Amino acid sequence: MKTFIISTSTTEHLAKKIKERTKSFKIIFPEKSKEGKRCFPDGEVYMKISKANRLRQKRVVVLHSGAPEPNQGLVELELILQILKDNKVKPEVFFTYFPYSMQDKVFEKGETNMAENLVKKLVNYYKVKKIYIIDPHFGGMGWVKKYPINSVSAVPFLIKKARQDFGKDILFLSPDKGGKRRTGILGLKKERLDSFKVEIFSSRLNFKRRILGVVDDIIETGGTLLKFYDLAKKSGAKKIIVLATHGILPAGILKIKKKYSKLYLTNTIKQKEANIDITALILKNIV
């Protein structure tokens, strides 16, 4: 039975690559408005899958990335899932990057765990059977186990590439404990003061003459990795490279690229600086 992949506008770059690589999937790019646009003039999202009624009893995977434009993307995703629900299709969803993933717990009273709420809605309301997520920010958290989530990691992919270029002796580190929870790679202590300012603490680090590979899930403002660089440099590192899965803000990515000896960044989010293609990782998991 052929698998149908429905691509939102954030994953068109990946869906096109899948189409080039294999004939095992039928790719659906939802139709646009009469003006050829994804949004109406007032900003509301338009969505149409005219052959949705033919997808009943078929395996359907919706491919989505939570960036750029997380809010528009979310509405696109919900409209697609609603159209599928209207047509009695129970799909799977593959997130190359999960939107709202950093709001993954109630940090302060009066907030909500948006990441879990979204997962809950997909499973309970839209009847999504399986959710694949590449390097979810909430990987390893307790609540994740309650849902049919399949975490897929790009980290082994990134490490393999870095070792090919810089040899086997790279010392891999996470910039914070969250990184350690997700990957098992030793992490430093980090405190985030606001969206732009972070502090990383360490005592008695000695990276003399080492090649350091800092492994992080996300580059947003670049604040975390800039701080990490200063610390690692002071501690004597010879070379420092970055292995990152999701590149969210181009300005942050460029700052990191300039500072570090090398940046390995995947294309889970469409970015000019992405140099590691994860199409094979997607295919390996959904075949």
Is 65 an interacting residue with respect to ligand R5P (CB under 6 A)?
A: no
Residues 183-202 that bind ligand R5P (CB under 6 A): 198
Per-residue contact string for residues 203-222; x = within reach of ligand R5P by CB under 6 A = -------------xxxxxxx
Look at the alpha carbons of 75, 73, 133, 105 in this order and tell me if their dihedral is positive or negative: negative
Nearer to ligand R5P, 73 or 175 (CB): 175
Stretch that binds ligand R5P, among 26-34, 50-58, 74-82, 176-184 (CB under 6 A): 176-184
Q: Is residue 175 involved in binding ligand R5P (CB under 6 A)? A: yes
For ligand R5P, give the closer residue by CB, 18 or 218: 218
Rounded distance between C-alpha atoms, residue 133 and residue 40, angstroms: 30
Which residue of 66, 91, 136, 178 would you call a contact of ligand R5P, by CB under 6 A? 178
Return the structure tokens found at 96.
Answer: 């190359």
Closest distance between ligand R5P and the C-beta of residue 267, in Å?
18
Question: Is 104 among the residues that bind ligand R5P (CB under 6 A)?
Answer: no
To the nearest 10°, report the CA torsion of 102, 106, 109, 114: 70
Task: Based on the shown chain and the rule CB under 6 A, indicate whether residue 265 belongs to the binding site for ligand R5P.
Answer: no
Q: What are phi and psi of 217, to 5 degrees?
A: -80, -35
92 or 217: whose CB is closer to ligand R5P?
217
Closest to ligand R5P by CB, 28 vs 219, is 219
266 touches ligand R5P by CB under 6 A:
no
Residues binding ligand R5P (CB under 6 A): 175-176, 178-179, 198, 216-224, 252
